[in-house]
Amino acid sequence: MWFVEQQLVVRRGDVVGCCELVECRNRHVVGRGRRGKVFVIPKNLGNNYFTVADSVKTGGALAALQTLGETGQETSGSAATSASQLPAIQAAIAKGANALIVSATDPTALCPTLKQAMARGITVVTYDSDAPTCRNLFINQASTSAIGTSEVDLLAKDIHDSGEVGIVSAAASAPNQNTWIGFMKQELKKYPKMKLVSIVYGNDDPTTATQVTSGLLQHYPHLAGIISPTTVGIVAAAGVLDTAQYRGKVALTGLGTPLSMKKFVDDGTVTAFELWDPAKLGYLAAYAAVNLASKTITAASGQTFTAGKLGSFTIGSGNSVLLGPPQVFDKANIAQFNF
């Protein structure tokens, strides 16, 4: 349960000590024995990746909050844009959130509101996609550099270190995508016969991602391979490539969930791709948010906390926590995973 040491319980309608009513409400202090309100705000709803990361059924963030006895709610917009996500953040603050767990669509657009939340004493934890200047802690799904470099290495193996390469990203403003792509560009320098010819953006929308993948193939008829570092984009790209015209001729890798990608691995459209367990990411983010909001820990580097069944984690540089290394999925192991 939530508590803050040496704080008095503040209830609506009460004035405690010298604290004026409005000031008390804005402190977001939760007394001993009271449940906290935690809002999980992914980039968008209806995205299978975030459904896995957040839901009770999969053992994600809401499952962790349930285990901790806290009140949790997933909320966001229908599109992976700041215009769609921002109203959900604002509504959560208005509803008296104690903590926000946010996958940032666009830090520039979200930060003014997230900074206001922090100024009111609301804990802000980012997961999956960071907003470095307006959060208390970031839960990083895997080493940022490892994600970018390993995807290039997987593709290089598929296309024998040679050929034109395209990237099907999510939104042009997505910080995680841009950071990973930055490391991809660095890794491509190790493969002088591989050339990055274009980056296109599907905005984590299946229809848009399908369209931009088709356009990429039309503009570059000699394309050897595609990297899509987004679970929506890679499924859309695989759907385009899953034909006699492209299967086995244009390679594809990136970040995907095993259940959504299994058919494409089984039929040879995709050889290998990678990800982490999104449910564990959400679970870890929820434990971190509760520990921070209850003042059990601060976000200082070197502090440790236990995240239930996942064990102990240490806060690293940049006020971040690393879930672990990415997992590669291929025909040999994909049937072992159920997310």
Nearest residue to 269 via CA among 243, 299, 302: 243
Mark whether 148 and 270 lie in a shared domain: yes
Mark whether 164 and 271 lie in a shared domain: yes
Residues near 75 by beta carbon (within 8 Å), at least 6 away in sequence: 39, 40, 41, 45, 88, 91, 92
Give the containing element (helix H, strand E) for 199: strand 194-201
Q: What is the pLDDT of residues 179-208, one digit of tens each?
A: 999 999 999 999 999 999 999 999 999 999
Number of structural domains in the chain: 2
Work out the average pLDDT over 307-335. 96
Q: What is the pLDDT of residue 27?
A: 39
Indicate yes or no: pTM above 0.85. Answer: no
Mark whether 200 and 216 lie in a shared domain: yes
Residue 1 within a domain: no
Mark whether 266 and 152 lie in a shared domain: yes
Nearest residue to 226 via CA among 191, 256, 196: 196
Mark whether 136 and 202 lie in a shared domain: no
Mark whether 194 and 293 lie in a shared domain: no
Work out the average pLDDT over 144-150. 95
Out of 275, 291, 306, pick the residue that ends a domain. Answer: 275
pLDDT: is 287 or 12 the higher one?
A: 287
Residue 10 within a domain: no
Mark whether 82 and 198 lie in a shared domain: no
Q: Which is it for strands 312-314 and 304-306: parallel, antiparallel or unpaired? A: antiparallel
**Given pLDDT bands bounded at 50, 70 and 90, which one contains residue 119?**
very high
What's the CA gap between 13 and 118, in Å, rounded? 23
Residue 266 within a domain: yes
**Given pLDDT bands bounded at 50, 70 and 90, which one contains residue 34?**
low
What's the CA gap between 180 and 173, in Å, rounded? 13
The whole domain housing 234 covers: 144-275
Q: What is the pLDDT of residues 48-58, one digit of tens each?
A: 899 999 999 99
CATH of the domain at 124: 3.40.50.2300
